[in-house]
């Protein structure tokens, strides 16, 4: 083997290492579908509560959404490799979800929930989780969603009534449904790219 | 002139090198995912993973998910150290080749 061929082979090895490390990192699971699912769940709960079933609309819808989320994650997890990034982001959202669930349930059952407090707290917690994952993933769009939720937190403390409800519905639409759908499209694109590589 | 380093023969195999590199970017990965990423056959992949396991570079865990068996591979600290050393040796050799 000539020195040139040998050097080329070593360069190929180095390039193989770089490509494979990138492949592993690219497999970070996306969770666009969870944003869509929870966005729809919020709309169902708000609509149901609006029909006069306030005491059961939120607990039933949130429990159903939690069970469905857990089930789908368990299904998907078995197919993808575990990465530290996925575990870190998953931990943030799980902790936030449990905190929000306990808080809203307690407020609902104690009868101490009011529109301002419930929306301000929900928006602040969603802003926290979006900001944390956006910073970890260096994803500007998710950081923008966090800004929207922070803005709603402030507005919920000062505003009220129908305008606040509309602002909440709009934030859910853009930061849950539209953002989640965008995440799902990005994931589908990545899957197609991976299939072309294989 | 400094002596050029030897390349670790366990890692130098193309498939084994690809496997260790893939595992370095994840916490653990399933056999089917490694097969999909490398395009290797079941038999070859199993044999190369066994060599890495025997060298102490990967650890294996078997479990059942919805009654289906799953084999998960994880890079060990020894594997990470070996890959790091391999990359350093490779860079040194390439540097030598370029200089030469």
Q: Please count the residue pairs, one from chain A and one from chain B, whose beta carbons lie less than 8 angstroms apart.
A: 82
Residue B4 CA to residue B93 CA, distance in Å, equals 6
| pLDDT tens-digit readout, B8-25 | 999 989 999 999 999 998
Cα distance from A84 to chain B (closest Cα, Å)?
6
Please tell me the predicted confidence (pLDDT) of residue A79: 65
User: Mutation test of the interface with chain A: which of B17, B21, B80, choosing the one with the most A Cβ atoms within 10 A?
Assistant: B21
Q: Check residue B3 and give its pLDDT.
A: 65
Q: Is the pLDDT of residue A151 over 90?
A: yes
Listing DSSP states for A35-91 in one string gives HHHHHHHHHHHHHHHHTT-HHHHHHHHHHHHHHHHHHHHHHHHTTS-B-HHHHHHHH
Higher pLDDT, A171 or A189: A171
Residue A115 confidence class, pLDDT cut points 50, 70, 90: confident
Among A189-193, B31-35, B57-61, top mean pLDDT goes to B57-61
Lowest mean per-residue pLDDT among A46-55, A177-186, B39-48? A46-55
> Which residue, among A183, A25, A137, has the nearest Cα to A129 in the 3D structure?
A137
Percent helix, strand, coil in chain B, to 5, is 60, 20, 20
Residue B29 has pLDDT above 60, yes or no: yes
Closest residue in A to B26 (Cα–Cα) = A83
Task: State the pLDDT confidence band at A96, using cuts at 50, 70 and 90.
Answer: very high
Q: Which chain A residues are within 8 Å of B97, Cβ to Cβ?
A: 3, 6-7, 10
pLDDT at A37 over 80: yes
Does B25 contact chain A (CB < 8 Å)? yes
pLDDT band for position A139 (50/70/90)? Answer: confident
Query: Would you kindly state where each structural domain of chain B is located, as residue ranges?
Result: 9-92
Quickly name the fold that domain B9-92 has. Arc Repressor Mutant, subunit A (1.10.10)
B71 interfaces chain A, CB cutoff of 8 Å: no
Q: What is the pLDDT of residue A192?
A: 74
In this complex, the residue of A10, A19, A82 whose CB is nearest that of residue B27 is A82
pLDDT at A68: 93
Per CB-CB distance under 8 Å, the chain B contacts of A198 are: 36-37, 39
Question: Token pair of B5, please?
Answer: 């380093």
**Quick check: A17 pLDDT over 70?**
yes
Q: Where are the domains of chain A?
A: 31-197
Does the distance separating the beta carbons of A10 and B30 come in below 8 Å? Answer: no
Could you tell me the pLDDT band of residue A31, with boundaries at 50, 70 and 90?
confident
């Amino acid at each position: 083997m000539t020195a040139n061929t040998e050097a080329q082979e070593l360069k190929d090895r180095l390039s193989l290492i770089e490509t494979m490390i990138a492949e592993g990192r690219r497999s970070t699971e996306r969770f666009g579908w969870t944003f869509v699912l929870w966005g729809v769940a919020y709309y169902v709960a708000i609509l149901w509560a609006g029909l006069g079933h306030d005491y059961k609309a939120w607990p039933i819808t949130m429990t159903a959404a939690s069970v469905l989320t857990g089930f789908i994650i368990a299904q998907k997890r078995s197919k993808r490799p575990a990465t530290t990034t996925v575990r870190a982001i998953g931990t943030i959202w799980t902790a936030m979800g449990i905190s929000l669930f306990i808080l809203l349930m307690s407020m609902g059952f104690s009868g101490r929930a009011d529109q301002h407090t419930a929306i301000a707290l929900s928006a602040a917690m969603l802003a926290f989780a979006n900001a944390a994952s956006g910073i970890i993933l260096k994803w500007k769009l998710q950081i923008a969603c966090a800004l929207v939720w922070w803005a709603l937190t402030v507005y919920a403390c000062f505003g009220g009534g129908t305008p606040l409800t509309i602002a909440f519905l709009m934030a859910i639409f853009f930061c849950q449904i539209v953002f989640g759908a965008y995440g799902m499209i990005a994931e589908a694109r990545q899957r197609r790219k991976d299939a072309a590589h294989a | 002139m400094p002596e050029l380093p030897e390349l670790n023969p366990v890692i130098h195999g193309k498939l084994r090198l690809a496997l260790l590199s893939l595992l370095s970017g994840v916490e653990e990965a399933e056999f089917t995912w490694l097969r999909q990423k490398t395009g290797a056959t079941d038999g070859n992949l199993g044999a190369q993973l066994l060599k890495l396991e025997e060298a102490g570079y990967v650890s294996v865990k078997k479990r059942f998910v919805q009654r289906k068996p799953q084999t998960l591979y994880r890079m060990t600290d020894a594997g990470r150290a070996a890959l790091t050393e391999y990359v350093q040796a490779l860079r040194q050799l390439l540097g030598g080749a370029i200089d030469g």
